[in-house]
Structure 1
Amino acid sequence: MNWINSVFRPKISSFLNKREVPENLWIKCPETGEMVFHRDLEANQFVVPNSGVHMRIPVNRRLELLFDEGGYETIATPSVVADPLKFRDERRYSDRLKDARAKTGRDDAVVVTRGRIEALETVVAVQDFNFMGGSLGMAAGEALITGLDAAREAELPFVLFAASGGARMQEGILSLMQLPRTTAAVMALKEAGLPYIVVLTNPTTGGVTASYAMLGDIHIAEPGALIGFAGPRVIAQTIREKLPEGFQTAEYLLEHGMIDMVVHRHEMRATLARLLRLLTHQPDPASLPVPLPEEEIVIEAPVESPADAAEVPADKTTA
């Protein structure tokens, strides 16, 4: 075999049959620059193993990790007018919606579900940041109100995982109207004496923090989450001062009394279950006394001794 067959042809074949490598095979840690294999990141609940940075986690995966055995039902939400203002900037708003729906496979930014967290039935809403930055529009507002009303009617607690860049500018004043509407629904839930817990994830900003995201009975945040109304760069340019180290992070807000706790994602399910039991006055299954196994009662027949047998008169026979 000549050099053309042994060298040249294999190189051409390897070039033409080159294996495609997925773009997300490796994920770069935003803090340390460490490259993490995607499967390892997913197995660790999308937390970078060495640095502990909490990456954005898909909505479906978050819900599977939260509910018992990963099972839950999705609550249907009402549909709204897709493009009420016929808005257009660089692109049509209707085209942006089509792209977001194709990318995420959902109608809008908020998903409302119902399931059990350590046997405690709960209504849970999650904002999907991948859907136009989790922005609050009419559809998201209707979804939140539907979830809050469903929890109130069923007398169940409500848990919100917030992630948003703020109000959706393409809907103008109609978007801002969702702030008082969702606030009224939260107040109705509280008047019914039902718990409302908010989990602030990265990022939670804008009009969402100016309304329902900061009205919880208890506020939890994931480590390192950016939480605030305006971004730190906008604030620094406005006041013309250097901001403190870690400004608007979850740890900074905890230190200054704006939130109640910072909870690692691995401990989120257990923490929420403990808080829900506390707020609904449900006992901790671990604290309940373990019933003792029932002992089998065996009744033994009396043993007849030889002395007793001698005292028994013999049967009389008649001639």
Structure 2
Amino acid sequence: MTYPLAVLVPVLPTHERWFVESQQAGDWSFFFSPLPLVLTTAVVVVTVLWRVLALRVDRPELAFLAPLGRLVPWVPRLLGIHLGVALLALAATGAFMTPANDDLHGVGGTALLLVEAALGIWLVTGINLRPAAGFVLALGPALALVAGPTALGESANLAAVAAFLLVVPPGPDAHGAAHPSKAQLRLALLLLRLGVGTALIVLAFSEKLTNPAMAIDTLERFPALDVFSLVGIQVSPETFVAIAGATELLFGLLVISGAFPQVAVLVAMVPFNATLLLFGQTEMVGHLPVYGVFLALLAYGSSAQTAAAVRWLPSPAWRRLSAVRHPVEA
């Protein structure tokens, strides 16, 4: 079942803007060249087949991970901690919402960092997190103002966790156990998947598929990223960038699909964790919200009671209309 993934995950996805000088994306001529188009088509086909196959399975796909399902009541609390620690660490290093946005100046910049740190502390406490999550989402326009809309899209993983907590915050007891309704959980998980998937897809295009120059610069500065060379395979930088972009695009689409979340997360964790060896603390802080999302998808996907909610998507409008007109058939 993991074979289609393994073919397209031979590279280590990373965030180039965190480690090299940012360059403007928008080189669509590279994306519309043969290899990126073929790989993108393959990624879309794999994602569709992956979801169609998953819809035929009405239980968690990896039964041995069932113990992780016991974490389900405390996932909102754990997500709050992941997001809070990430915001605190970013503020401590002078970065606003993303490690790449670390060039704030003046009273306004200092104020944004203080707000970011305060929200981080609030989220870690676990107390009444719905307003805190709302304030995190409200920082989006400020991020777009100081760093541009692309940075906003690349940081959608933060918004994803905040949106989840807005719908399903930790409970009021000492340990923060949450017991949302089925509808609340499905909506929260949908927002979580959409946000993280969007961030990965935006990164695939803004740092690779329409920005090959910056991706090649990153590869030249950090040649260890080219895992092909470790097995004696030589590929051109352009080929590497196309495969890296397709890999990140695949991860984003699989997260949004919610299909086979246990397998998808376990595969994705390999390259996401491998980059820690190369980039260390910056990579860990920047990926903390993503790690929290991976944990959430694993926990909910490992429980027989919540696994179906992980892959839930709203019914198309025509299906809802048909159900209203023909309630007996629906």
Instruction: Please indicate the TM-score interval, normalised by the length of the shorter structure.
Output: under 0.3
TM-score (norm 1): 0.25
Which structure has the greater CA radius of gyration? 1
Higher strand fraction (1 or 2)? 1
TM-score (norm 2): 0.25
Higher helix fraction (1 or 2)? 2
